[in-house]
Structure 1
């Protein structure tokens, strides 16, 4: 029985030679749809990571006066680093700030002529976790007052990041993103199903002869189902591979001040789930076609 299934599977794979261009275009279509779905999932995953990181935190941007000495700045960075509930502190020297500004502006950001007359001050980006027992607004105001009172500090700004943002994003993702992914799954099903129908039409005489000699339905359908599953598997794997290449190229695009967002790839279990889902859709569409 197992040997017979292997022979039928091999026959299903051999069908790729009958209509190579049709199968190739089907693979390309499945890969592109998988890539598009992967981009949506990648955006969703990174936004969730960013919201999870910032949820329950308050960020303060501290600017010192232009006459502040490096010794004073170093001491105050250490003082801020020892404050309660500090999550992260990133200090920027005038040179660092100038480089960040130049990177942000791209080719138009050549500020090498300002190297000896840098007008940018020392600054720091700090993140504080809001204690569960604290009132967020009053607690943030106390931190703001304490930072402003430090020697040499000229300005402090802060932006409380509310958990409502994450909750609103979940509503948007459920209302828009998942239906889009469902539509892309339907596209995969139609593309693979039509290709299987084409294979079915080209083998109609063979199928009729097999039916006349008493071949069971599964004997006729298995090679066609195998072809659909392989197309779904190879197409989704190619789409995930292209998604990884795109993520490598875009990983540091948003990792600049003030965003500091690194675009991370999907967890491998999500990739496996997407690959399995596309293969399952392809198998189901093949089953509908051969029925």
Structure 2
């Protein structure tokens, strides 16, 4: 363990032997991570905006007008326990009539609809269920529709299949874009760090040959170089995320004001950790490939 820590510290010290090369590589890694994080930030906020309108599916349920209202309200309590339910609005026949009368009066019709006071017996109990879209289950909407249709006393249930398909299509598209971005990040960061490690090897060929002659093991020679790659990835990720957070705070303060009221959210914690881990891992891998050759 002591030898391992000594090799790690040696790798940190040797980064100062070629400061300009290390700084340029660090700048390249930071720029790649920043651009990747910027794209992820844009994608995350765009997804939040789309999810607010397209990431949900609404089901409209109508019970028979001659049904038992107590039974209907018991079903409403059960429906509130459904998985994925974001919100639920319910209207008794009387509430539906009051809402209709209010809407008509607001349209300038005055109080000419007093004859509707007994019309609540003709209106059905109604429920509006708003679900978040589970993209991993392609048959979710049909299964939920079949389940709701089995409710006793239910007359009809409707939903917009186009809304559901648009939400699922966007979710699949955003996931593919993220994977493409991760691949781009891996290639560019790997090339930058790998070339820097190769330059370090070329400039230290005499030193490495002497180490081989005195019996130094491959791990003893390679470990400091792998540490250099890991440090470049970790520090580059930290700097990029710091710049990204500063940009997000600035954009939020400029856009989240009337009349725009556009909230700019930072990346989720899992995305932040994944970005840093992927970048550091790619830098270590590219260093390993460079020293292996």
Q: Same fold (TM over 0.5)?
A: yes
Distance 1:222 1:7 in 2: 10
CA RMSD of aligned residues (A): 3.2
1:227–1:242 Cα change, 3 Å? same
Q: Report which of the two structures shows the higher radius of gyration computed on alpha carbons.
A: 2
How far off its partner does 1:169 sit? 1.5
1:194–1:148 Cα change, 3 Å? same
Alignment-derived partner of residue 188 in structure 2? 187
Unaligned stretches of 5+ in structure 2?
59-75, 77-85, 91-96, 110-159
Alignment-derived partner of residue 131 in structure 2? none
Say which SS state the counterpart of residue 193 (structure 1) adopts: helix
Alignment-derived partner of residue 206 in structure 1? 207
Alignment-derived partner of residue 26 in structure 2? 27
TM-score normalised by structure 2 residue count: 0.62
Matched, 1:56 2:56: yes
How far off its partner does 1:148 sit? 4.5
1:57–1:259 Cα change, 3 Å? farther
Distance 2:259 2:101 in 1: 22
How far off its partner does 1:172 sit? 2.3
Q: Deviations over 1:86-126 (max 9, x none)?
A: xxxxxxxxxxxxxxxxxxxxxxxxxxxxxxxxxxxxxxxxx
How far off its partner does 1:265 sit? 0.5
Alignment-derived partner of residue 13 in structure 1? 12
Contact 1:23 1:195 in 2 (8 A): yes
1:13–1:131 Cα change, 3 Å? same
Distance 2:256 2:105 in 1: 29
TM-score normalised by structure 1 residue count: 0.63
Contact 1:253 1:262 in 2 (8 A): no
How far off its partner does 1:171 sit? 3.0
Alignment-derived partner of residue 250 in structure 2? 249
Equivalent pairs counted in the alignment come to 208
Say which SS state the counterpart of residue 214 (structure 1) adopts: coil
Contact 1:13 1:226 in 2 (8 A): yes
Q: Deviations over 1:31-70 (max 9, x none)?
A: 1111111112112222333333333378xxxxxxxxxxxx
Contact 1:56 1:130 in 2 (8 A): no
Distance 2:192 2:21 in 1: 10
Distance 1:153 1:271 in 2: 54
Say which SS state the counterpart of residue 151 (structure 1) adopts: helix
1:129–1:3 Cα change, 3 Å? closer
Contact 1:57 1:129 in 2 (8 A): no
1:146–1:162 Cα change, 3 Å? farther
Alignment-derived partner of residue 72 in structure 1? none
Alignment-derived partner of residue 225 in structure 2? 224
1:150–1:262 Cα change, 3 Å? farther
Alignment-derived partner of residue 273 in structure 2? 272
Unaligned stretches of 5+ in structure 1?
59-83, 85-127, 133-141, 155-159
Contact 2:45 2:265 in 1 (8 A): yes
Query: 1:93-242 alignment to 2 at 5 Å?
Result: 148-151=103-106, 162-242=163-243
Distance 2:261 2:57 in 1: 15
